[in-house]
Amino acid sequence: MLVASSHNMGTTRVDELLSPYATSPYAVLDGLYALHDELGSGGFGKVYLATHLLTSQKVAIKIIDKLKIKV
C-alpha cells in the first residue's frame, strides 16, 4: 500500500498498516497521523481527513490500493 500526504506531497510505503478499504476513528498512520473521516474515494483508493499528532495540522491522506497499480 502506498500513502501520499498533501502536507509534503511525498509518498511513503506502508506495509499492511491499514487494509485498503477500512479504517477506524482511532487509526494512526506511521505513528504521526490520526485518520478521521473518509473524504472521498475513486478507482485507486480512498482519501481521509487526518491530523498530524505533533502539530495538530489537518491534512488529507490518500490510501492507494497497490493491487490497482500496474507496474
Domain boundaries, the chain: 2-68
Q: Which residues are annotated as a binding site?
A: 62
Measured distance CA(62)–CA(17) in Å, rounded: 14
* CATH number of this structure's domain 2-68: 3.30.200
pLDDT at 50 over 70: yes
DSSP notation for 25-63: TT-EETTTEEEEEEEEE-SSEEEEEEEETTT--EEEEEE
List pLDDT tens digits, range 18-45: 444 445 556 888 889 999 999 999 988 9
Q: How far is CA 23 from the centre of its chain?
A: 9
pTM: 0.60
pLDDT at 48 over 60: yes
Q: Which residues are annotated as a binding site for ATP?
A: 62
pLDDT computed for residue 68 by the predictor: 80
| Average pLDDT for 52-67 | 92
